Amino acid sequence: MTDASVADRGAILHSHVAALYPICRSITGAGLRATLHYIDARIGLTLTEVASGTPVLDWTIPPEWSVRGARLATLDGRTLVDFADHTLHLLSYSTPMHGVVRRAELERHLHSLPGQPELIPYRTAYYRPDWGFCLSHRQRDALTEDAYRVDIDTTLAPGSLTYGECVLPGEEAGEVLFSAHACHPSLANDNLAAIAVAIELARLLAARRRRFTYRFLFAPGTIGAIAWLAANRDAPARIRHGLVLSCLGDPAAPTYKQSRRGDAPIDRYAAHVLAGRGRIMPFAPTGYDERQYGSPGFDLPVGCLMRSPGGSFPEYHTSADNAEFVRPAALADSLAVLLDIVALIEGDTCWRNTAPFGEPQLGRRGLYGDELDRMALLWLLNLSDGRHTLFDIAERAGRPFAAVAAAAAAAARAGLLVPATACASGA
Ligand code: ZN
């Protein structure tokens, strides 16, 4: 890609982050739906509503949360903290509360960051009913009156949880899953950056011929992935490769967190693409929804692509994780990494040598020229026994994947290779 097209791509990616940033998302409700509608308008989504109270695996879909406003004010009517100013000001899933509260009681419902006194923290009360405000520590220090007026105009009522899927069918059986959480309110790197990158990746893949089916899932974190898995118990039979996408817009280099298996093809592809360009982390049952996809009952080959891992940067889960923190160039680079991984997913096919008894005579078949990587070709013919994919061969030969793939195309044209259906890995 030229520098200009990278800049254009970065600007488009960043425009999605900026457009979605003001919306108050949560694990259910209007903000989550508005976000899914924004994505739907660009790539087309199938939306699924799962009713409150529905059991999903070991969990239950919670009541739906609606918020109309929330204010903390002095008794003489001066507004001090207003949800209208920042979605982070309200504890996500806060129960409704209207009344005068003494300061000692109010303090138990305030969340701030003494170490980062200018920032508003992001806090939730998903599975333990509570009300509360999040505010800068500086704002909190200024609360000196004996009592304050609290008005939290929210509803927790039977409704549903929403997730959206964009499915791009492929020519062969097998799916590739890209999953991004869509439940965080005004936070940009975590996870509007990944939503933006997924939108543009889906657009690019939709315009291409595809070997595999690509499924993009946008769902609230944890409970959304669990609801999707509950409805897709056959996922292990379908999903060949997968990536959770998160925090893809900060300036750090890319980070790949391995799948639970650690040696799945997606783990090897990501390591190949990030060699000299990023870093690899081992799997741990923490982090994002890789821990749901990698729960032992599913054990899906799903890793996680990030730049800075969640929790590792000072802006994480604060008002400093805003649209300015996310960089167009970093978003464009994340998309480029994903396109390189997709190229391996699509290109890692399996072949069988049609002349395996002795070395085939290459000159007679026009395969002795300078344009082919000779070592790649010899390894290709030697290992194309129906048990090694092109990526296996590239790794064993120590040759670039592109050289092995080019040799395979030439050998197939010369009739020395035919597609093999069964393969040990990859395909
Ligand atoms: Zn988060």
Return per-residue pLDDT of the chain as tens, 427 residues.
667 687 899 999 999 999 999 999 999 999 999 999 999 999 999 999 999 999 999 999 999 999 999 999 999 999 999 999 999 999 999 999 999 999 999 999 999 999 999 999 999 999 899 999 999 999 999 999 999 999 999 999 999 999 999 999 999 999 999 999 999 999 999 999 999 999 999 999 999 999 999 999 999 999 999 999 999 999 999 999 999 999 999 999 999 999 999 999 999 999 999 999 999 999 999 999 999 999 999 999 999 999 999 999 999 999 999 999 999 999 999 999 999 999 999 999 999 999 999 999 998 998 887 778 999 999 999 999 999 999 999 999 999 999 999 999 999 999 999 999 766 544 4
Phi, psi of 124 (to 5 degrees): -130, 160
> Of 61, 85, 51, 58, whose CA–CA distance to 71 is shortest?
85
309 Cα: distance to centroid of ligand 1 (angstroms): 10
182 Cα: distance to centroid of ligand 1 (angstroms): 10
256 Cα: distance to centroid of ligand 1 (angstroms): 17
Helix (H, G, I), strand (E, B) or coil at 20: helix
Residue 20 has what pLDDT? 98
187 Cα: distance to centroid of ligand 1 (angstroms): 8
252 Cα: distance to centroid of ligand 1 (angstroms): 17
> Of 211, 279, 197, whose CA–CA distance to 244 is shortest?
197
253 Cα: distance to centroid of ligand 1 (angstroms): 19
329: how many CB neighbours lie within 10 A of its CB? 15
What Cα–Cα distance (Å) separates residue 109 from each residue in 105, 130, 320, 339?
A: 7, 8, 22, 45
The answer to whether the predicted template modeling score (pTM) of the entire model surpasses 0.75 is: yes
317 Cα: distance to centroid of ligand 1 (angstroms): 6
Q: Ligand 1 is a single-atom ion; what residues have CB below 5 A from it?
A: 190
Structure tokens at 174: 């097998």
Query: What letters, b where the CB count within 10 A reaches 16 and e where it falls short, cover 80-115?
Result: bbebeebbbbbbbbbeebeeebeeeebeebbbbbee
Q: At what angle are helices 374-383 and 401-413 packed, to 10 degrees?
A: 70
Please answer whether residues 228 and 293 qualify as being in contact, where contact means their C-beta atoms are separated by less than 8 angstroms.
no
Structure tokens at 362: 């290459």
310 Cα: distance to centroid of ligand 1 (angstroms): 7
21 Cα: distance to centroid of ligand 1 (angstroms): 14
Query: What letters, b where the CB count within 10 A reaches 16 and e where it falls short, cover 392-413?
Result: bbbbebebebebbbbbbebbbe
Please answer whether residues 88 and 186 qualify as being in contact, where contact means their C-beta atoms are separated by less than 8 angstroms.
yes
132 Cα: distance to centroid of ligand 1 (angstroms): 19
What Cα–Cα distance (Å) separates residue 69 from each residue in 96, 142, 386, 419?
A: 10, 22, 62, 61
Beta strand ranges found along 15-159 (DSSP E) = 46-51, 55-56, 59-60, 64-74, 79-82, 97-102, 110-111, 133-134, 147-157
190 Cα: distance to centroid of ligand 1 (angstroms): 5
Beta strand ranges found along 223-288 (DSSP E) = 239-245, 255-257, 279-281
Residue 422 has what pLDDT? 64
189 Cα: distance to centroid of ligand 1 (angstroms): 9
CA 134 to chain centre: 26
Taking the C-alpha atoms of residue 142 and residue 384, their distance in angstroms, rounded to an integer, is 72
32 Cα: distance to centroid of ligand 1 (angstroms): 15
Taking the C-alpha atoms of residue 302 and residue 264, their distance in angstroms, rounded to an integer, is 9
Instruction: Find the angle CA(78)-CA(82)-CA(87) to the nearest 5 degrees.
Output: 175
191 Cα: distance to centroid of ligand 1 (angstroms): 7
323 Cα: distance to centroid of ligand 1 (angstroms): 15
Length of the chain: 427
Residue with tokens 């936070």: 187
Residue 421 has what pLDDT? 78
311 Cα: distance to centroid of ligand 1 (angstroms): 8
Domains recognised in the chain with CATH numbers: 3-62+160-346 (3.40.630.10), 65-157 (3.50.30.90), 349-419 (1.10.10.10)
> Of 152, 9, 1, whose CA–CA distance to 82 is shortest?
152
368 Cα: distance to centroid of ligand 1 (angstroms): 55
246 Cα: distance to centroid of ligand 1 (angstroms): 9
Residue 427 has what pLDDT? 41
What is the strand order of the sheet 147-157 is part of?
79-82, 64-74, 147-157, 97-102
User: DSSP letters of 201-232?
Assistant: HHHHHHTS--SSEEEEEEE-TTHHHHHHHHH-
89 Cα: distance to centroid of ligand 1 (angstroms): 16
111 Cα: distance to centroid of ligand 1 (angstroms): 16
Taking the C-alpha atoms of residue 313 and residue 324, their distance in angstroms, rounded to an integer, is 15
* Burial (0-12, 13-18, 19+ Cβ within 10 Å), 268: buried
Q: Are strands 147-157 and 79-82 parallel, antiparallel or unpaired?
A: unpaired
